[in-house]
């Protein structure tokens, strides 16, 4: 039986066909990894950040119009 690391390397090879047992082991491992990732994402955010947190703003940038100016000229038909 191959290790998980070997199975993960074999997933990069498009020509390798997994046996039923290998596929089950790999699927179980990947589902477990996704489950732990989801648990980390679902943790409640820290209470350290709140609406009362003081912020220092150092750079204030004025909003600049970045669009091209509209021209009043009309393009004449070349017909």
- Digits of tens for pLDDT over the chain (79 positions)? 788 889 889 889 999 999 999 999 999 888 888 876 666 555 655 555 566 777 787 888 787 777 777 766 555 555 5
9 within a domain of the structure (yes/no): yes
pLDDT of residue 17: 92
Q: What is the pLDDT of residue 20?
A: 92
Number of structural domains in the chain: 1
Alpha-carbon distance values, 5 to 10, 14, 16, 31, 76 (Å): 9, 17, 15, 15, 68
Question: Does the pTM of the predicted model rise above 0.75?
Answer: no
Judged by DSSP in three states, 31 sits in helix
11 close to 27: Cβ distance less than 8 angstroms = no
22 part of a folded domain: yes
pLDDT of residue 74: 57
For 28, the domain range is 4-41
| DSSP category for residue 28 | H
């Amino acid at each position: 039986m191959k290790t998980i690391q070997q199975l993960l390397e074999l997933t990069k090879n498009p020509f390798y066909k997994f046996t039923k047992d290998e596929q089950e082991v790999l699927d179980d491992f990947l589902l477990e990894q996704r489950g732990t990732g989801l648990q980390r994402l679902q943790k409640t955010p820290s209470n350290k950040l709140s609406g009362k947190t003081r912020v220092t703003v150092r750079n204030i940038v004025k909003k600049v119009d970045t669009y091209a100016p509209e021209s009043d000229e009309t393009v004449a038909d070349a017909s």
